[in-house]
Every structure is written in structure tokens, then in C-alpha cells.
Amino acid sequence: MTFRNRKNIQVSPSTLNNLIVGVEQGTYRIPQFQREYVWEKSKVISLFDSIYREYPIGSFFIWKAGREHNRLFRHSIDLNIRPIKEDDDISFILDGQQRITSLYVTLMGLTARHTDYSRMCFDVKDEKFTYREPDNRRFIGVRDIWGENALKVARGIDDIHKDKFDRCWGILRTYPISIVEVGDQDLASVCNIFQRINQGGKRLDRFDLVSSMTFTTDFDLREAFKQDIVAKLKAKMFGGISPAIVTQLMALVKKGACTERVEYSLTSAEIREMWRLVVDSILLAADTLRTSVGVQNAQYLPYDALLTLLSYFFAKSKQRSPSEDQLCWIKRWFWRASFSQRYGSGGATKIGRDKERFDHLIAGDLPAFDPAINLSAENLVGTKMTWSRSAIRNAFLCLLAHRDPVHLVNNNRLDLTNGGISDFTSAEKHHIFPQAFLGRSNYGEEQVHALPNFCFMPAELNRRILDARPSDYFAQLRMQNGQFAEAAHTHLIPINDDSGLANNEYLTFLKVRSGLILAEIEQLMGLSATPRADQRQEAIERVETQLRNLIHNTLSDAHGPDYWRTAIPEDVRIEAEKRIASTLHKQPGLSAQKFTNAREKLSFCNIPDYLKLILIRNNWPHFEPVIRRKVDVERHLEAFSEFRNALMHGRPVTEFTRKAGELAMIWLELVISAQNEESSDAEQEDDAPDVSARVEPKKSKDVSAAKPVGVEEKMDGI
């Protein structure tokens, strides 16, 4: 049997004229599963230019369908074609819809998608196609060249250009095309054929194919998706989601898996039966992702599978909200799956496995997670904010949004939902180290857009910063915002002297901030039992403040308000004065008078300085009644200093360092608590009548034995 005798597929030569006539008469139709017409004017112009220059524009694939498939015809746009009848013998356009539709609306001068194609013109002077109002002298409407008035229009053209007009008319009428017609195939086979032949264009997804195979006159999955899901998510400012989520979810709910074969097995009756459940579950899942893990809109989703599986949880459990334990598990699953890039390959198979985990969760169990991920600072720095499809990048956006970031000037909460923050892939926005500044410092594109250099920044603040040096604009932010440290914490931006900001050291900043981000990720994934990074930082700052107060009060009582002159070692005094001078230099708006206060000067000492102040010969006798032993204060302040510096500078914290640091903080709080109690008792005794003859002498407090409420819990495992 020769190829030309086969009935299943035939290749026929034809002309552009015959193709357009076939569309006009309704012989060739656009099937239900084809996409909407989406071509831009520039592509239509390019298509006609290729025809005029006699370049090939590709074959057209046609399916000669049985009459039982006539219901698949879709009126995607008004082509002024008569309605299809049940007994019509028609062929569906499988591949070439965009090209055929573009040719048809232009040659007929129709309006499609709010574009008037009667304005598509042929410039007879420059021999090119353009979009403008035709004058039929130089700029000739393409529909007039094609239509019945072509001869009349030709008479109005200057003789010098008539040959170009004639050439255009002739080519449009005789341009050769190739039609490949497929017959004797059922709908499923045709859908498979379409996917194979459409590799070079926009591939149809399974949703398109399932929609076509389950289409009925009383339920159109494609339209139901637009009205019941897309419109409602748009109203919630969540944005559009992939329609593939819908077919995956329906397959999981009804069949227990979401492979291609399973999705294609869904029937119209099954889809209609569970449609309301599917809609409600997706809307509940979107709300939960926004409120619990920072997915402000669909663009933030690391993977569509995350929305699919959470929707499955709501669909199968029939719950309106998860329990506290279930929500905790869901959040950890989200962060682990996202930062481990779990659904990057083998999506359907992994979704099926995790569907079983959700079944256990619904049954009341808390399923085990996969082994911990291996994420490093190098991974974060190597991820670019311009990679919109990166799971790590999108999970990072969710992480920052989850922290409720505030404006760096006024501490107002940023609106991440209603358009207050947008274009976070834009090259000039949201960089902590501005792109222009880094460009002047000879950093390349790969380094400029590193993930740790990103934060949510409103457009007005970005415009104020422009290309400023971080050391300059962060100093201004400190001056303008009395609670700037708190604002920076919400963005996980390190602002201490070693963060790299003060000296505009970009690589140092990337390293330090990566450390903070990694610590936060570990906390969210449940891999760290310690408090969140910002909570630990707040606790450390609180203990430091209390320690300064203890030192200040003790030295003031012992040496008077001028104790900096008599009780502070010279080397400590000199270093503190250097730090004060540096601060005044960086922040010229500050007054030197602010730092004449003895208590304020202590803020410019570090932990080793505090230890020296306590242990020096003239001072120790005044601290000894509360601290008791030098060995204790030496051990705990050293541990606290190491823990504090590691955390503040974004360095890795070993388990030993963490436990020793936390124990040191407990010890310091106990010491300070004991000193405060003694001070309070002393004040009461000063005010009370003299009854010393009738009471027992007050016993000294043994700090090592004292434990405030909750210490047992804090000490557990240390």
C-alpha cells in the first residue's frame, strides 16, 4: 500500500484562497479544545510579510471528524460563520488555528479581541504591511486587496506602485499551502495527535484536553473554571492559577492518582458531580496558603502541586479549616517541599505519594517528613530574583511575606495583596544594595540579583533610594525611624556593624543575611527547636539591656554618676569613644551631647568589656554580693558573647554554642532578677519603721539555687 492510498492521513496541496473559502463556508471549524485567539498585531503583520515574500508558513493539520463530534465546535470569536448543524460534514483545525484565524479576520476586515483588522494595510511604496487607517492610495487595506473591490481600488493607485499592488493581489490568491488531514480517529487519539504535532507552539495542557473530552451542552469545564474559580480568586486578589490544578485535583479526589491516564479517564458525570466540592476546596486552600505561609498571590507559589494537595485535604476531609496540629504539619510540609524543590521532577508521582500522607493527616495521624534538606548560603546567593519559576526564589518571597514586613521609614505594615508591592522581578526595584550602585562597583548581573539582596520595598521608597550607598541611606532610615531595628527585623535585614551595610561590603552582607535566612528556614521547617531568629535576637537585646542596667546601677551606687572617669579602664574608655565618634560621623544629625550620659556610653561597650568592668579590682567587691563567683560570670559571659555574636552576624550556630548561650542567658536573668529583688527590699526597709530588734537578719540569696517559674522547661536538654 502506498502512502497516498492510506485513509487515516492524507496530505493535499491547496491554496490560501481555498483555505479561507473553506473557513467562510464552515467546512473548517475550530474545535472546543483549541485555545482562544491570542496573536498580537505584530505577529499578524509578520505572517502576511512571510506570505508576500513567499516564505513557507507551515502546514495546516485538519481532523475530518464524525458528525457525533459536531458539538465540539467553539465560537471563540465572531467570524460571521453560519452555526453548525447536526448533519454537517466538517473538519476541525487541529494545528494552525492562530494562523488561520489571523488570515481570516484580516482578509475579511473583521474585529476580533477589540482589534479592528480592517486597519491592516499593505504599504505599496515600501512593500510592507502595517497597522493604520487605510487611504487606498499608498496604504491599501488588505481586505480591499482580497475583496471584490480590488479592481476599483487599483485604479486609485499611482502607476509607479501598481505592479506592487498586482503582485500582492496575485500572491494572496495563489499562495500555496499544504493541508494534512487526519480521519478515522476518536477524540482521545486526536488529542494525542494534537499534542505531538504542536510541540513547536503552545502545547495544550491536560485541562484543555479533559475539557474537550467531557464537554456537554449543559456543562463546559473551561467556562466553569473561568466563572467559579478564576473570577473568585481574582476578587480575592489571589490572581490566576493554572487550570491543570483543577484536573489534577479531580483525579486525586475521584481516582486517587493524577497521572495523564487517570486524568483522561474522568467522565462528564464525575466532573459535574464533584464540581462544587472542587471549587470550595481550591478557594479554602488559597486562603490558607495566604494566611499561614505567606502565599500572597498565585505568583508566589513555589509549585502548583502545593495548591493541588492542600485542596485535596479540604476536599477529602470536608473541613472548613485544619486543626492546630494539622495546620502545624501543613506549614512544615509546605516549607520542606518548597525549599527541597520536591516537585521539580516526577510531579504526578510525588503528588500521589504525598496524597497518601494527607490521607493519614485527615485520619488523625501526623505523617513523618522526608529527610532534612541540604540548603546552604551558596544555594541562596546562587538563586536569582529574576528566576520567576524557581521554587527557592518563590518560597523566599513567601517567607518574607509570612513575617508581615513593615515600611522601613514608618513601620506601617506593607500591603502585599492589593498592589502595594509589585514587579518584584523588575531589575531596578527591591534591591537592598541598589543595582546602579553595584554596577559602579563592578558587580555583574549574576551577583546583583542574588536572592539575599531582595526585600519588599514600596515604589516611593525605592525612588528615594535610587543608587545611594547602603551606608548612607540606612543611616538616614535610622534617623527617621525611632524603631528602625524592629522594622529591619521584619525583613530579616541585619543592621549591626558587621553586616556589611555600614561599609558597603556587598559580599559580606550576602553572607550575613544568608545566615539569618537559613536560620529562619530551619525554624519554619521544624528543624530547629530554638526560637525564631528575630525572637532570639530580641531576647539577646533584652538581656544585654538588663546587663547594662545592672552595671550602671552598681557602678553609680559605688562610685557616683561620674564613674566613667574613676571606674572604667582606660582601654575600654578609649574604644567606646572611638565607636561613639564613628557613629557621629555616619549619622551627622546626631548630637555629641547625647553620648555624655554614663548609661548611654555603656551601649558602646561589648560583652568582653562588661566582663572587664565587673572583674576589675575596684569594681568586683560591689558585684560580688549578687554574682557570688568570678568563675560563673567568666564562663557565662563568654558563652553569651559567642552565642550573641554568632546570631547577630549570621554565622552558623553549633548545638553546643546554642545550649551554652541559652544557659548563660538564663543565668544572667537570674542574677539580674536577684539584684532587682535586693534593691526593692532595700527600698522597702528604708521606708519601714525600725524593727530590727524584733526580726531575723536577712539571709543572703544563693543565686545558684534560685529558679524563676519556667526554668525547668528552659533547662530541659541543655
pLDDT tens digits for range 234-276: 999 999 999 999 999 999 999 999 988 888 888 889 999 999 9
Q: pLDDT tens digits for 306-351?
A: 999 999 999 999 999 999 999 999 999 999 999 999 998 777 889 9
pLDDT of residue 195: 62
Q: Region 210-236: what's the mean pLDDT?
A: 87
Give the mean model confidence (pLDDT) for residues 82-109. Answer: 82
For residue 611, give the C-alpha cell: 566582663
Please report the pLDDT score of residue 468 as a whole number.
Answer: 87
Task: With beta carbons less than 8 A apart as the criterion, state whether 660 and 643 touch.
Answer: yes
Amino acid code (one letter) for 225: F
Name the residue with cell 512571510: 50
Side by side, the strands of the sheet bearing 28-29 are 9-15, 176-183, 60-64, 91-95, 28-29
- Encode pLDDT of 465-523 as tens digits: 888 899 999 999 989 888 888 899 999 999 888 889 989 999 999 999 998 898 889 88
Residues in the chain: 718
User: Residue 79 pLDDT > 80, yes or no?
Assistant: no
Rounded to two decimals, what is the model's pTM?
Answer: 0.61
Q: Which has the closest alpha carbon to 120: 168, 181, 162?
A: 168
Residue 594 has pLDDT above 80, yes or no: no
SS (H, E, C) 154-202: HHCCCHHHHHHHHHHHHHHHHCEEEEEEEECCCHHHHHHHHHHHCCCCC
**Rounded average pLDDT over 27-36:** 69
Q: Output the furthest CA–CA distance in the chain (Å, rounded).
A: 130
pLDDT of residue 652: 66
- Range scoring the smallest mean pLDDT among 266-275, 528-537, 705-714: 705-714
- In angstroms, the CA 130 to CA 116 distance is 13
| pLDDT top residue among 163 and 75 | 163
Percent of the chain with pLDDT over 90: 42
CA distance 353 to 402: 27
The burial class, CB within 10 Å (0-12 / 13-18 / 19+), for 202 is exposed
DSSP assignment of 495-506 equals -STTSSTTTT-H
b/e per residue 164-188 (b: at least 16 CB within 10 A)? bbeebbebbeebebebbbbeebebe
Contact assessment for residue 9 and residue 180, using Cβ atoms and an 8 Å cutoff: yes
Mention every residue, 6+ apart, whose C-beta is less than 8 A from residue 635. Answer: 664
Say whether pLDDT at 660 is over 90. no
- List the beta bridge partners of residue 128: 123
SS3 label, residue 677: helix
Residues whose CB falls within 8 Å of the CB of residue 226, separated by 6 or more in sequence, listed in order: none
Q: How far is residue 82 from each of residues 28, 340, 551, 686, measured CA to CA in Å?
A: 12, 54, 92, 104
